[in-house]
Structure 1
Amino acid sequence: MHILIAHESPIPVTAYGGTERVIWDLARGLVARGHRVTFLVPDGSTCPFAAVQPIRPGVPWREQVGRDVDIAHFQFKPDEDLDVPLLVTEHGNCQPPSPFPLNTVFVSADHARRHGAECFVHNGLDWSSYAPVDWDRPRSGYHFLGKGEWRLKNLRGAIRVAERAGERIEVLGGVRFNVRRGLRFTLYRRARFHGMVGGQRKFDVLNGSRGLIFPVRWNEPFGMAVIESLYFGCPVFATPYGALPEIVGEEHGVLSADARVLADAVRANRFDPRACHARAVDVFNAERMTESYLALYDRVLAGESLNARPPQLTDLDRNLPWIS
């Protein structure tokens, strides 16, 4: 099967790049199973195991999808009909009212439900491309992983939890003094800011952390930061919104919208790091994700619709409750 994967950001991943990492691992899994993959991505992208076709801005998508493609897998909603079978994966919370094609896949059960849809595939990663977990390294402090300038990620709440618990927090994805989205300055001296980082530097921080503090104030579509943290043996202390209850079980952390509850859980942290690691490796892996998408490709090629009606976001719910 020849599968075209279209995405509007370049590959390979240069820093965080959640979606880019997912489609990279998906393509590698498809090629390993004997399929042919072509990436339709911005100019300058490269890939050693799949063909790369640069996006031509302003040219209709139907003219950029090769005639020998069996199925096109877009990571965004194309604004026109294509001449080949189409599957769309929606990775975020698109503003309403914007209906999606019938063959749209979401990244969690909650994500699908909030779009009035049924079809979803949990993201998975090729954990062999990550640094090994250092089980012998002493762990201290906690971390936050996300775009700290975005208020819905609630970096301020994460720092508040760490402060209540009397713990150090390493902030991956934020800065102490932020003027981009309103003047914000973090006074808590036990918060250390690393900016947007990836690769070995991020792995080093996660390998030395006792857990992820992640009190988001929206319905998280999936939670890449969550599964990456679990992989490194870090339990998760987060709000119970969006996909997070699907990812974080009782053995892997605590979910609450109250900073005091999360701070108490942080202080009493007795979670088994190896159980957290196993959760990521056994459930949220690239092999399972690849097999799930292949089954959906077959359904689409057989003429089946993946959802009963065009999905459309019905429940955005920003600024969800948070007690600090």
Structure 2
Amino acid sequence: MKVLIVYNGIIPTPLYGGTSRVIWYLGNELVKMGHSVSYLVNRGSSCPFADVKTIDTTRPIVDQIGDDVDLVHFNMLVPDVEKLKQPYVITMHGNGSKDVKLPLNMIFVSKNHAHRYASESYVNNGLDWDDYRKPDLSKSRSYFHFLGKAAWKVKNVKGAINIIKSTKSEQLKVLGGTRLNFKMGFRFTTSRRVSFHGMVGGEEKYELLNGSKGLIFPVRWHEPFGLAITESLYYGCPVFGTPYGALPDLVSNEVGFLSNKQDELVEAINNADQFSVKACHELALEKYNSKTMALSYLEKYEQVLNGTSLNDKAPYQESAPVKTLLNWE
């Protein structure tokens, strides 16, 4: 099968870039399975296992799709996609596109993500764990971590900091933020039990995750998926977060605890050693890997190629009457 993967971003990702990493690993797995893969992405991209074409920003994307592909996999909404001659699917990676009927061949990234659009069509994100440093599950762990864009209020780094401050002596390492932030309202963290490491990647991130007792992730929005969760699980870290979005899909009682109440999360963190480092690692390794993801996408591709839509009716979600952060106590 000849698959064209389209995304208005750069591959490989310069540092973090969740969507870029997911489509990179998807393409690599498809090539390993004997399929032909090409990318249509932004200028500055390169790839050793697939042809790369650059998006021409002066022309409609649908006019840039050649005739030499069997299926097009878009990773963003594209105007006039219904005009495309080739079969296609679209993966929605975020929480946008409300109050609009989405194309029938839409794929979401978690069960909850799909259900919020009245859909059953989803494929969980997977990562190529061979591309990560193998964790040392016997390593001593001395702190907790937060992983995400701390400047986004929905990620609730304030909540994570307050959780740590409410424990007797636990420490928090914030991966993805700085001590002083003006971007989303003024925040300055004075606690010496909280350290900030900015946007980290590669060996530095792997080392930090491998020394952590667990991920503190009290998000105040419906997380579409959460690569921070599966990466943390891979390094043996249980997850302590809120029961929103995909978190209940990903975090069972065996690998973490979910609540929107700070005092309950503090209590769970105080008993973090009850969770098995090995169980966390094995869940990510076996369930959230790139091969499993690619096989699931292939099922969607075959369905579309056989002339069957992925959704019976157009996925749709109304905006909330008032845009507010989800409850946090």
Pairs within 5 Å for 1:1-324? 1-81=1-81, 82-165=84-167, 166-269=169-272, 270-314=274-318, 318-323=324-329
- Give the paired residue count: 323
SS in 1 for 2:212: coil
Question: Please, what TM-score do these two structures have when normalized by structure 1?
Answer: 0.97
Question: Please, what TM-score do these two structures have when normalized by structure 2?
Answer: 0.96
Task: Verify the 8 A CA contact 2:99 2:319 in the aligned structure 1.
Answer: no
SS in 1 for 2:166: helix
Q: CA deviation at 1:197?
A: 1.1
Task: Verify the 8 A CA contact 1:102 1:310 in the aligned structure 2.
Answer: yes
Q: CA deviation at 1:320?
A: 0.8
Q: Report the RMSD for the aligned CA atoms in angstroms.
A: 1.1
SS in 1 for 2:232: helix
Task: Verify the 8 A CA contact 1:106 1:121 in the aligned structure 2.
Answer: yes
Counterpart Cα distance in 2 of 1:234 and 1:292: 26
Task: Verify the 8 A CA contact 1:102 1:306 in the aligned structure 2.
Answer: yes
User: What amino acid is aligned across from residue 185 of structure 2 in structure 1?
Assistant: G
SS in 1 for 2:145: strand
For residues 139-195 of structure 1, what are the alpha-carbon distances to aligned partners after superposition, in whole Å with 9 as ceiling and x for unaligned?
111000001000000000011111112311000011110012221111222110011
Task: Verify the 8 A CA contact 2:177 2:198 in the aligned structure 1.
Answer: yes
Counterpart Cα distance in 1 of 2:263 and 2:220: 16
User: What amino acid is aligned across from residue 69 of structure 2 in structure 1?
Assistant: V
Task: Verify the 8 A CA contact 1:219 1:318 in the aligned structure 2.
Answer: no
For residues 100-153 of structure 1, what are the alpha-carbon distances to aligned partners after superposition, in whole Å with 9 as ceiling and x for unaligned?
110000011110010111100111111010011012321111000001000000
SS in 2 for 1:117: coil
For residues 13-66 of structure 1, what are the alpha-carbon distances to aligned partners after superposition, in whole Å with 9 as ceiling and x for unaligned?
221111111111100010001100011000110100011001110211222111
Farther-moved stretch of structure 1 (313-322 vs 214-223): 313-322
Counterpart Cα distance in 1 of 2:103 and 2:97: 15
For residues 211-268 of structure 1, what are the alpha-carbon distances to aligned partners after superposition, in whole Å with 9 as ceiling and x for unaligned?
0000000111111100000000000000000110110111101000011111111111
User: What amino acid is aligned across from residue 17 of structure 2 in structure 1?
Assistant: G
Q: CA deviation at 1:95?
A: 4.3
SS in 1 for 2:26: helix
Task: Verify the 8 A CA contact 1:217 1:318 in the aligned structure 2.
Answer: no
Counterpart Cα distance in 1 of 2:241 and 2:185: 24
SS in 1 for 2:161: helix
Instruction: Please list every run of 5 or more consecutive structure 1 residues that lacks an aligned counterpart in the other structure.
Output: none
Task: Verify the 8 A CA contact 1:103 1:306 in the aligned structure 2.
Answer: yes
Q: CA deviation at 1:98?
A: 2.4
Instruction: Please list every run of 5 or more consecutive structure 2 residues that lacks an aligned counterpart in the other structure.
Output: none
Give the direction of change, closer, same or farther, for the CA distance of 1:130–1:110 in structure 2 (3 Å limit): same
Counterpart Cα distance in 2 of 1:318 and 1:223: 20
Task: Verify the 8 A CA contact 1:212 1:234 in the aligned structure 2.
Answer: yes
Task: Verify the 8 A CA contact 1:152 1:318 in the aligned structure 2.
Answer: no
Q: CA deviation at 1:314?
A: 3.3
Counterpart Cα distance in 1 of 2:88 and 2:12: 23
Counterpart Cα distance in 2 of 1:198 and 1:213: 18
SS in 2 for 1:210: strand
Percent of counterpart pairs with the same letter?
A: 48
Counterpart Cα distance in 1 of 2:275 and 2:193: 23
